[in-house]
Every structure is written in C-alpha cells, then in structure tokens.
Amino acid sequence: MMIQNIIPVSRFSATREGLPCLFTPPPLSLQFEAAVTYRLGVLTSLPQGPILIETRFAGRFVYILHEVFNGIVKMSPLLKPEAKSPIAVQRLAAIDVMRGIVIVLMAFDHASGMFNAGRYVTDAIGFYKPGSVIPAAQFLARWVTHLCAPTFIFLAGWSLSLSVGRQKAAGVTDRRIDTFILKRGLFIMLLDPLWMSVGFGHGLVFQILYAIGGSLCCMIILRRLGIRALIAVGLILLVFAEVLAGLAIGFDKGRNPGIVAALLVTGGRVGSVAYVLYPLLPWLGYMVLGWGIGRLPAGGGAAAPVTLFTRLGIFSLMVFALVRGLNHYGNMLLYRDDASVLQWLHVSKYPPSLSFAALELGIMFLCLAILFAYYRNRSANQWNPLTVFGQTPLFFYILHVHLLAVAAWLLNMRQSGGLIETLTATLAVLLVLYPACLWYRGIKQRKGFGLQRYI
C-alpha cells in the first residue's frame, strides 16, 4: 500500500473469545519499511519534483479518457443524453446476475481467508517485496476475486440511479430522497466497524461497506450533476488516486498521514485498533460512474447495452495495457518486476490503482455485455441462485463472514487447509444462505417500511 503500516489480510490470529480473524498485522522489516518510505518520497518530492509532473500527466490523461469515454457513449445507440431519463425503471436481470457472480467470488475470497493456509495476498506495495516468487494457483485464486469490490460499488451507483428514477417518477420529493439516501448510507457505513468487525475479528475495520455507505452520502450532492460532469468526476477520482495518496503521505513526510487521510485517501492503520482498507475517495469514483451509466436513457433497442459495454470493456482493457505496460504512474508503486502474465495481473488494490481500475472495470463491462446479450430475449429465472444472491447482496454479506468464522473455529480448521477446503467452505456457506436469501427476498418484495429498506 501507499503506507507502510497498512495491514496484510493474508494471515490469522487468535482473537477475542477464540474466534478467527482475517487481519493480523505482522511488522514489516526495517529494510522493507525504508524501501517503501523511499519510494513514497520519490513520488512526493516537493512541488517542483515528480509529483508536479505526475499531476500534469494525470490531468491530461483524465481529459483524454473523458473525451474517449464520452465518444464511446455517444457512438452507442444507447445514448442520446437526457439528464432526467434513467436507463430503465425495472430491475434488470443482467445486473442481478452480475452482482450474484461477484457474491460467489467474494464468498470464495473470505472462505480462503478463513480456511486457506496458503492464501497469497500481495495486492499493495506494503504487502509485496519486489522480486518475490508468486505462487500461480494461490495468486490466481485471490486475483479472480478482485472483480468483487469495483463491481459492487459500480452496481450500487447504478441501482441507486434506477431507484431514484423510480421515486421521482412516483412524485417523491428530492428532500425525501436525499434523507433516505443519507440514512441508508450512514447505516451501511456503520455496519463495518460495529458488525463486520466482529466477524473479521481484529479491532475495528473499515472495508467495502464503509466505502459504499460513504459514497452513497456523497451522491446526495453529486447526483445533481449532468452526465458529462459525472463522468469527469468519476475519472478524476480514479486517475488522481495516486496523486492524492502521494500528497497525503508527502504532507506528513512519509509517516502515518492521520485519520482523515486514511479514511479518505490512503487507508491504513488508525490508532492501535482500527484499520481502513477501503478509503472513500478512490472507491467513490466507481459509484459515480455507475450512477452515470444508470442515467443513460434506454433507447436503441435491446442490443444497445451490449454495444456500449463491449466498447467500454475493450477501451478499459486498452487503458490497462497502456498503464501497466508503461510501468510507471497509475500502478500505485506496485510495478511489474518482469513481463510475465502474473506480473501484469499483479496490480494494487490497496488503495486501488488506475491499472487495477481499468482491468477490473474492463472485465466487468465485458461480463455485463455478455449478460445483456444472454437476457436479450430471456426472462430471469427467479430461482437461479445468482439472481437470488444478486437481489439480496447486503443481507448475504452481513451473514456470510460470521458463518465462515464460526465454522473455522468449531472445526478447528482456521487457516489449516488449502484451495479444496476453501471451495468446500464456499459451497457450504452458499447452500446455507440460499434459503435464507430466498426468505429475505420475499420480505423485501412486500414493500415494508422497516429495517429491510436499509438492507
């Protein structure tokens, strides 16, 4: 990561009441800390140094990306921008299934954290020593789950846009809409330190729910922007993430940037008991782009989304190839050691680099293109587990980590297995939660006004 005190997630330790946890911060060697500090120092040299050059580069890159992104959208039959017209008012089967796919991948990742003794997590500069040998199977088992967080947050922005569109069409006032978004955002933010920390088990953690909830709160203001402005804001947040992290570190001369910078920009340790893995601003960009997609009108016929997402996917992967190939700015200091496939895929998630964003968004866009093509002339099977999980994502999330933690503790298998045990645990938690998610979906569909409105 950008700071040397961020916690790896590749180990366990015994925690309160004997439950296993995902987070144990083994101290980095003094040599490695010095190396990280040096590399951060290079990035954050004074205004006449590299940081100014990279800021100018990032600004020009944002302009180019913005123009190409807008060009792709205008060329697609989907977009003739109309600021008040959402892409659709009904739930889209492709969105539910896409979310269900990443739910399964997420469950696999967290099962690996609980059961897999060989779990390999080096997706940040603070986790990886350059030149280290990367075990292919364990690396790829972790890498496939990188799709989860960007997709969750992007689709959360898209779903929010559809929801707001439905409410406005029903005559709900902006004030009531904003009040609900604020309450739900704060509720989701607080789930991480108050509930998910119990399951993950090592102090207070601020992870994806913190990023999603905080992003929802930010959308109260950002949702009033036009499509072009939204796209610009989203791209700025993704491209300038490395500059912001460098500045946050540089202002404190490479030391811990403090609670505000950790929560907003860099992530890392906050005091002795709290850890931020998903700083708000870098992840907000994904939700802004998702909202922007949701604002596009549903013109152009059934083939329009397929065309749009195919073009965006190819463009995003081209950006990834450029940034990763240049092996400089946009990699959050986690550079390629060589030209091997594993090194190309070895990108920084903590915090998310531009190469990470371009790769994962590219994969997500192409998956959406495939799903929209599949459901072009098909109705969704409401019993499909992917559909069920995709329609109850938060309910699944707040239960599955605790179930995996308790299972690892009861079976005395805490990080003592391998990928087979990880797959078995994943399948088990999916089978257990499938009927529970069916039940909860039924409650949500009754349109109650209780707690289910927030989960």
312, 79 in Cβ contact below 8 A?
no
Model pLDDT, residue 28: 33
**By C-alpha distance, which of 341, 277, 280 is closest to 127?**
277
200 contacts: CB under 8 Å, gap ≥ 6 = 21, 22, 23, 207, 401, 405
pLDDT at 180: 94
Asked whether 333 and 1 are in contact (CB, 8 A), the reply is no
pLDDT of residue 105: 98
Domain locations in the chain as residue ranges = 16-453
Give me the amino acid identity at 272. Answer: S
Q: What is the pLDDT of residue 90?
A: 34
pLDDT along the chain (455 residues), means of 10: 35 34 36 38 37 57 66 58 38 88 98 95 90 95 97 95 90 94 96 93 90 97 90 92 82 67 89 89 96 74 80 95 94 94 96 96 96 86 94 96 96 93 97 96 76 75
* Cβ neighbours around 381 below 10 Å, total: 12
Looking at residue 37, what is its pLDDT? 41
Are 289 and 156 contacting, i.e. CB atoms less than 8 angstroms apart? Answer: no
| CA distance linking residue 51 with residue 313, whole number of Å | 30
Per-residue pLDDT at 305: 86
Residue 351 preceded by cis peptide, ω within 30: yes
Report the pLDDT value the prediction gives residue 271, as an integer from 0 to 100: 79
Task: Render pLDDT for 198-220 as a digit per residue (tens, 0 to 9).
Answer: 998 878 999 999 999 999 999 99
pLDDT attached to residue 447: 67
Model pTM score: 0.85
